[in-house]
Structure 1
Amino acid sequence: MARKLRRAAGLLLATQLSFSGKACGQTFIDVAAEAGVFHDSAAPNSPTAPTFAQVQAGGAAVADYDGDGWVDLFVTRTSARDVLYRNLGDGTFLDVTDSAFGAAMSDVASTGAAWADIDNDGDRDLVVATLGDQRHRLYVNDGAGGFTEQGLARGLIIDDGQAATTGTSVSWGDYDRDGYLDLYVASWGGFTATATSSQARLFRNRGAAGPGQFVDVTASAGVAMDLSSGFHAGQDLSFTSKFADFDRDGWPDLAVLSDAKTSRLFWNRGDGTFDDGTVAAGVATGTNDMGLAVGDVNGDGLVDWFATSIGFELNRHPSGNRLFLNQGDRTFLDATDATGVREGGWGWAADFFDFDNDGDLDLAQANGMTIGTSSQADAVFFRNDGDPKRPHFVEVAAELGLAAQEQGRGLLTFDYDRDGD
């Protein structure tokens, strides 16, 4: 039998698995067309070539936005309106962008997206990072299947005097533990323009004083990203962020992955501020970090860290992927080569999940770039064949049917048909 794969304009979505009785019989098949998930990532026949930032873009987010018990799908695009697919519960999806958003959804270039209940009213709202606009977008759910755009009114403002937004990804986490989700937006400004400051931002939810209203606390919280130095001096190059309690002290920490050796790990002090612990933690070894996946890879109860990057086979500022095992003392052990995950092409998004239900975490990775041989790039899939306490991965994308010679950027996993996998 087969686990089903969605691939739409560079977006890889691993979704459904039906068991054959043996792990070796599990494969992926592309069901995008029959499920009704099909679109171009950019407008066809666009008169202008995409920017490099747009070439790198590719985002998606899933949530049950309408409360019917089925997980729905939102996909970002760079020169056309984003798309909301409503899950019909029969293995198919319906494009409901017009009815759900109306005029609130414009065709601004967008990148990352994430759902969250920002005001604790019981339904999922949506934040979308933008490129080349004046602000990011925040779509508030009206509880009846519709959304209004309220980013400006609710404080998602980047007031730094720079011309336009350079968002890449968004992540939610309650870093101050007040019961309301806060927001981090990463930012990649490009290799040609010189930024005056990073546009990466931490927005604190005002909580009970203003549910779903946000305040920029980047500087006061101590999480302002360094602009890169050396060859790329003065540039703002972060891609991916995640909140996770890496040190098990009960407070969500913040990891931000970035180009040009500017990735950061911020330890949460529990008082609304963070300390930069990147170097001491041992995770400052990447040259160009892009995607981040977190999970307990070796079953010790600690959150481990996987970073995608550019592989050595491409010979373009390579460092390869890296897997860091959490040691429980605010340090990480580089287990990349011991676990077999170094080479993954030109890596982007990644996600841990147990695709074969054998009790350990496997790893999917998007791959590709419009440069050289990486323009024809397979997805990467690392199957965990190791002992649960001693992970070891084998790259099996071709074996699983994922060698489609298409570029990927964003990636997520979800159970769209509620069959348990």
Structure 2
Amino acid sequence: MKGFVFGAAALLLLSCSSNREKNPPATLFSLVPPDRSGVAFRNDLTYTEEFNMYTYRNFYNGGGVGVGDVNNDGRPDLFFCGNMVDNKLYLNLGNWRFRDVTDSAGVASHNVWSTGVALADVNGDGWLDIYVCKSGSPEGDRRHNELFLNNGDGGPDKTPTFTEAAHQWGIADKGLSTHAAFFDYDRDGDLDCYLLNNSFRSVGGYDLRRNQRLIRDSLGGNKLYRNDGDHFTDVSEQAGIYGSAIGFGLGVTISDLDRDGWPDIYVSNDFFERDYLYLNNHDGTFREALEEHLREISLGSMGADAADLNNDGWPEIFVTEMLPPDDARLKTKAAFESWDKYQENLRNGYFRQFARNVLQLNNGDGTFSEIGRLAGVHATDWSWGALIFDADLDGRQDLFVANGIYKDLLDQDYINFYSVDPAILAAIKNRERGAILRLLEG
């Protein structure tokens, strides 16, 4: 891909005249090429024998994009996370023109694999700060999440500078971080942080032992950090947040799902672990209650978002997966789901999971109905993030799905994907509970 191309909303609600109805715009968005926008970011990857898509399963997961006004000039700026390239910060100059200010702002992060990014006013000084998650190959103390505090010296067409302070604030996490969400979970007036970490462990043949999510992972695991004014405190365990090695988290979204005035958390987990739904208890703790409120979920959950899609005042939940919409892709990519493995999932507490996107309709009574297939949004191929927003300003929320991958590693017709490893399936079919553990332990 030659540079970064983004869409600009075009001709939205310019007129309600009959002329507009007779001559609608051909497209809702217009491409803005790099030579016009100045946004030339490229997330180029180079694999080696030691570090590649087979030695690091998230090699092609990509990097995050953050949008926010970092110099308080009223225009949203852009931050891009680079995996094997430096991060980039672009100031918005207006009229769809941007200027690369990465080096002068001090946010490049040389030679460290960046993943997700969150722009938030962490210290409450009225200026947006930048929190960058790190992953990739471990490199000692160099690989830790970074918090770039805004020095407040920006302005109209003036470049702000930042000071890296993750250690000082207690959120220089060294897990395989995917993303972070900043929100005021305890309603004390400052922004707390939910940190989504992927797992260090190998997926292997799908280890379906019971109660693994209750065992905290000392190397990683999801975390909840409480903002205590000038630093963050890890309150994960006391707040009821799972932090196990089977939490292959790829998405987190914050929403008041039960409309009690307190923010709740939805986490989408890849591979065999089910998703998490945390309801706020109003006392600094959460209750994980997915199985009480949902009937079925995605299997290899990827991105997630929540918003009111039918304008009834109750937020829905949308989660992406990897089901192809056409038969040819389905046969080359998707493994058939095993009924025996599905039953083993249920017996060991991994819930009802299916390989497709899900759209959870909020019924307003504490329950959700999965309507992804009815809504026509269940199959969007290799999908990542989801964004719910009103694209055409008609008062109804629309749904954007980012999908695709540079190289499809699952298109391997000559072998079985590891989730249907014959030895694992044989152990499940014979109901030999100890056989799986003995097989995994060699």
Q: Which residue of 1 aligns with 2:347?
A: none
Q: 1:31, CA displacement in angstroms?
A: 1.3
Q: 1:293, CA displacement in angstroms?
A: 1.6
Aligned mate of 2:146, from 111, 131, 137: 137
Q: Which moved more, 1:120-129 or 1:322-331?
A: 322-331
Taking structure 2 as the reference length, what is the TM-score of the superposition?
A: 0.73
Q: 1:30, CA displacement in angstroms?
A: 2.6
Equivalent-residue separation in structure 2 for 1:184 and 1:309 (angstroms):
22
Equivalent-residue separation in structure 2 for 1:219 and 1:347 (angstroms):
31
Residues 136, 284 of structure 1: alpha-carbon distance in 2 compared, 3 angstrom cutoff: farther
Q: 1:284, CA displacement in angstroms?
A: 4.8
Q: Which residue of 1 aligns with 2:259?
A: 248
User: Equivalent residues in 2 for 1:1-400 (5 A)?
Assistant: 14-19=7-12, 21-22=20-21, 25-33=26-34, 34-42=36-44, 49=52, 51-101=56-106, 105-131=109-135, 132=138, 134-144=143-153, 145-158=160-173, 164-189=174-199, 192=202, 198-206=220-228, 210-211=229-230, 213-228=231-246, 236-259=247-270, 260-282=272-294, 284-311=296-323, 313=330, 314-316=333-335, 319-369=355-405, 370-371=407-408
Q: 1:65, CA displacement in angstroms?
A: 0.3
Equivalent-residue separation in structure 2 for 1:167 and 1:12 (angstroms):
27
| One-letter amino acid matched to 2:304 | L
Residues 15, 170 of structure 1: alpha-carbon distance in 2 compared, 3 angstrom cutoff: farther
Aligned length: 351
Q: Which moved more, 1:313-322 or 1:72-81?
A: 313-322
Give the SS at the match of 2:355: coil
Give the SS at the match of 1:170: strand
Taking structure 1 as the reference length, what is the TM-score of the superposition?
A: 0.77
Equivalent-residue separation in structure 1 for 2:274 and 2:48 (angstroms):
34
Give the SS at the match of 2:41: coil
Instruction: List, as ranges, runs of 4+ consecutive aligned residues in structure 1 with deviation greater than 2 Å.
Output: 11-30, 42-52, 104-107, 132-135, 189-199, 225-228, 372-375
Q: Is the 8 A contact 1:125 1:138 kept in 2?
A: yes
Give the SS at the match of 1:55: coil
Q: Deviations over 1:28-55 (max 9, x none)?
A: 3331312011122136698954533231
Residues 126, 39 of structure 1: alpha-carbon distance in 2 compared, 3 angstrom cutoff: same
Residues 117, 89 of structure 1: alpha-carbon distance in 2 compared, 3 angstrom cutoff: same
Give the SS at the match of 2:321: coil
Q: Which residue of 1 aligns with 2:157?
A: none
Give the SS at the match of 2:194: strand
Give the SS at the match of 2:297: coil
Residues 24, 70 of structure 1: alpha-carbon distance in 2 compared, 3 angstrom cutoff: closer
Q: 1:353, CA displacement in angstroms?
A: 1.5
Q: 1:58, CA displacement in angstroms?
A: 2.1
Q: Which moved more, 1:23-32 or 1:177-186?
A: 23-32
Segments of 5+ residues of structure 1 without an aligned counterpart are 1-6, 159-163, 229-235, 376-421
Paired-residue identity, %: 31
Q: 1:15, CA displacement in angstroms?
A: 4.0
Equivalent-residue separation in structure 1 for 2:30 and 2:300 (angstroms):
32
Q: 1:193, CA displacement in angstroms?
A: 7.2
Q: Deviations over 1:130-186 (max 9, x none)?
A: 01354211000000110010001101144xxxxx53011111110000010111111
**Bigger Rg, structure 1 or 2:** 2
Report the RMSD for the aligned CA atoms in angstroms. 2.6
Q: Is the 8 A contact 1:261 1:286 kept in 2?
A: no
Q: Deviations over 1:115-144 (max 9, x none)?
A: 111111110011111013542110000001
Choose between structure 1 and 2: higher helix proportion. 2
Give the SS at the match of 2:83: coil
Q: Is the 8 A contact 1:254 1:266 kept in 2?
A: yes
Q: Is the 8 A contact 2:146 2:166 kept in 1?
A: yes
Residues 73, 123 of structure 1: alpha-carbon distance in 2 compared, 3 angstrom cutoff: same
Choose between structure 1 and 2: higher strand proportion. 1
| One-letter amino acid matched to 1:170 | A
Equivalent-residue separation in structure 2 for 1:87 and 1:72 (angstroms):
5
Q: Deviations over 1:283-326 (max 9, x none)?
A: 65221111112111000001111000010533146611110011
Q: Deviations over 1:223-267 (max 9, x none)?
A: 124443xxxxxxx40011122110011110111111123210000
Q: Is the 8 A contact 2:133 2:177 kept in 1?
A: yes
Equivalent-residue separation in structure 1 for 2:66 and 2:172 (angstroms):
22
Segments of 5+ residues of structure 2 without an aligned counterpart are 15-19, 154-159, 205-216, 325-329, 338-353, 413-442
Equivalent-residue separation in structure 2 for 1:31 and 1:373 (angstroms):
33
Q: 1:328, CA displacement in angstroms?
A: 1.6
Equivalent-residue separation in structure 1 for 2:222 and 2:182 (angstroms):
14
Residues 292, 105 of structure 1: alpha-carbon distance in 2 compared, 3 angstrom cutoff: same
Equivalent-residue separation in structure 1 for 2:172 and 2:409 (angstroms):
38
